[in-house]
Copies of this chain bind each other. A is one copy, B any other.
Amino acid sequence: MKSIHTFKQCTSTIGTILPRRLTFTGARLTTTTSTSTNPAASVTGYALCSVNGCSFRFLGTSTRSTTRFVHELEKEDRSSHRLTTLHNHYRTLCFINSTPKRQMSQSSWTGPFGKDLVFRQLLEYKSYTYTYLLADADTNEAVIIDPVIETVDRDVKLVHDLGLKLIYAANTHVHADHVTGSGSIKKLIPTCKSVIAEVSKAKADVKVNEGDLIKFGKFKLEVRSTPGHTDGCITFVLHEKGLVFTGDALLIRGCGRTDFQQGNPGSLYDSIHKKILSLPQSFYVFPAHDYTGQTMSTVGEELRYNPRLTKPKNEFVEIMKNLNLPYPKQIDKALPANMVCGVFDVPESS
């Protein structure tokens, strides 16, 4: 771990805190701008830091606490993990006064679809649900698709870890198999708005319809109406990156069931063929569930290998009518909760 960081000697004086600029990239803590005599510093007593491109100030409750922070940095023994521990210790306080301005495009903490898009696929094991976190790496504006109530803490922590500003929690439909995390997320991040299809008749901050655009930073998700599993099912398309989030309409080598909640196999067949499989074959398919442990597919693969959707419509309808699936375990709890999520509190019992 030697030479992981260079930590220059400080020139601060007790009582007159001189601001310095530190760059902390992972375990690498480096002084990038040593010292400047900022008049404001001697008055308020603060340390300017930059953590992985995210600039923030440490504003102690007193000049003394700020001094202690700076001096603890000074006397560090250049062991990177000790610096990390110190940093973590002060992080909460620091972020209170932070002005997040991450440079994700430089730090590359994004995702596989290019340096300008943050992308994370997350899984909830109980209902086999995939949640997706997307963000513009420059503005940090983020959208979460299909969050689950059980994993909200994990998701919100990741949002914070990645320095994101979550502006939308978007649901592809009124889920019957799990309670959405939208309501809980809004409690933790009050600026986040819930989104659902207007057709669903569920309550949410933002109701969307065919052709609407959900914007985050320079990106936009196109809303496509894809009824069949439910009336209010929507699919999100991120054209710039060739990604399609299909909810419970198209699944990997499968599709959503059509035997409850306005389910209609004929509609589902048309929705999938007209709105999803008509996209370029290279588009990546990210569904709301997979029960076999596959994480992604492509339009091309589903056109060729989906055992149901490669059938003629009449055969597809017959297949869907004869699946004889069990009643969804969580439906009686999930449906009423999901019809009001994001506006009212989710039931305490959930």
Contact = CB atoms under 8 A, between A and B. Distances in A.
Contacts of A80: 303
Nearest to A122: B293
B122 A154 contact: no
Contact of A84 (B52, B108, B295, B303): B303
Interface string A175-208: 0000000000000000000000000000000000
Given A27-B277, A82-B312, A304-B52, A293 B112 contact: no
Interface in A64-99: 79-82, 84-85, 88
Interface in A273-314: 273-274, 277-278, 281-282, 284, 292-296, 298-301, 303-305, 309-313
Contacts of A128: 125
Interface residues of A, number: 57
A344 interface: no
28 contacts: A25-B300, A27-B277, A27-B303, A52-B300, A52-B304, A81-B311, A81-B312, A85-B310, A85-B311, A107-B282, A108-B281, A108-B298, A109-B282, A109-B298, A111-B112, A112-B284, A120-B294, A120-B295, A121-B295, A122-B295, A125-B128, A125-B293, A154-B292, A158-B294, A161-B301, A161-B305, A162-B301, A295-B295
Interface in A311-335: 311-313
A281 B26 contact: yes
A151 interface: yes
A112 B296 CA distance: 10
B311 A107 contact: no
Contacts of A282: 107-109
A interface, over-half SS: mixed
A53 B264 CA distance: 36
Interface string A234-274: 00000000000000000000000000000000000000011
A123 interface: yes
A124 interface: yes
A25 B294 contact: no
Interface in A20-35: 24-28
Nearest to A131: B293
A84 to B, nearest CB: 4
A109 B310 contact: no
B109 A293 contact: no
Contact of A27 (B154, B274, B310): B310
A334 to B, nearest CB: 18
B26 A303 contact: yes
Contact of A1 (B25, B26, B84, B278): B278
Interface in A97-130: 107-109, 111-113, 119-125, 128
Given A124-B293, A293-B123, A293-B151, A84 B304 contact: yes
Contacts of A113: 112
A109 B300 contact: yes
A296 B120 contact: yes
A115 B1 CA distance: 34
A193 to B, nearest CB: 24
Contacts of A298: 108-109
